[in-house]
Amino acid sequence: MNGRDQTKVAWITGAGKGIGRALALRLAEDGWTVAASARTEKDLVSLEQAAPGGRIVGFPLDITDAGRADVMVEVIENRLGPLDLVVLNAGTHKPTPAEGFSATEARGVIETNLTGTVNCLTPVMARFMDRGAGQIAVVASLAGYRGLPSAAAYGASKAGLINMCEALRPELAAAGVDLRLINPGFVKTPLTDLNDFPMPFLIEVDVAVDRIVAGLEGDGFEIAFPRRFAALMKILRLLPDRLFFTVTRRMLRQ
């Protein structure tokens, strides 16, 4: 990824707030033309106004609308030119503890985080594979490594994204397409501001964007941060079940 090449075009979903917004602004500052998608048009208007030289163009999208997502790549490319980078960042979170577990609420999280991402990924992959070029980054989460209390739906959706990217990576690489997986920990955004529990190793959104940009310019598959939190989560992934559940039982609220 060469952020200083002014001919480059990127598409970022979930760009209205948080990581997506900050990343869109960073790429625009580096000379990219950025197609920014979000459900809330007001957020996109604000983002366009904050961008240097009109380099960000808003394309409203609810990623759970499969029909609209399927044509969005064509809409963007017809206006801005061929895409070089796509960052599928849109997502949501809602606690889903065992007590009062709701299929409706769980379905809403999974349809946004997993199915919504697939809705956008499908047309992007088809075009990039035809061209034999392009970079795709899917934003999952460190929470997808193992199941954590109160995050049954969120963790399941992010684990699904991780597994999907691992499965697709070899085939896409063979077709000349560069697939990356982004696994953030806790990043200070309007979404995490709603959390009422301790968030270890919480980082500012600009630090997260630094990690993402550096990772996309590197050659690794996974971009995981903060590093210490990622290391701890990787250890949890390796623990035998008996030890793992001993740890997560201690995480339950008393």
- Which member of 11, 59, 128, 154 is catalytic? 154
Q: Is 154 a catalytic residue?
A: yes
Using DSSP's 3-state secondary structure scheme, residue 252 falls into coil
Helical (H) or strand (E) element with 223: strand 222-225
**Longest Cα–Cα distance in the chain:** 56
Beta-carbon contacts of 99 under 8 Å, excluding residues fewer than 6 positions away, are none
Beta-carbon contacts of 46 under 8 Å, excluding residues fewer than 6 positions away, are none
The phi and psi torsions of 208 (rounded to 5 degrees) equal: -60, -40
In angstroms, the CA 89 to CA 212 distance is: 12
Active-site positions read: 154
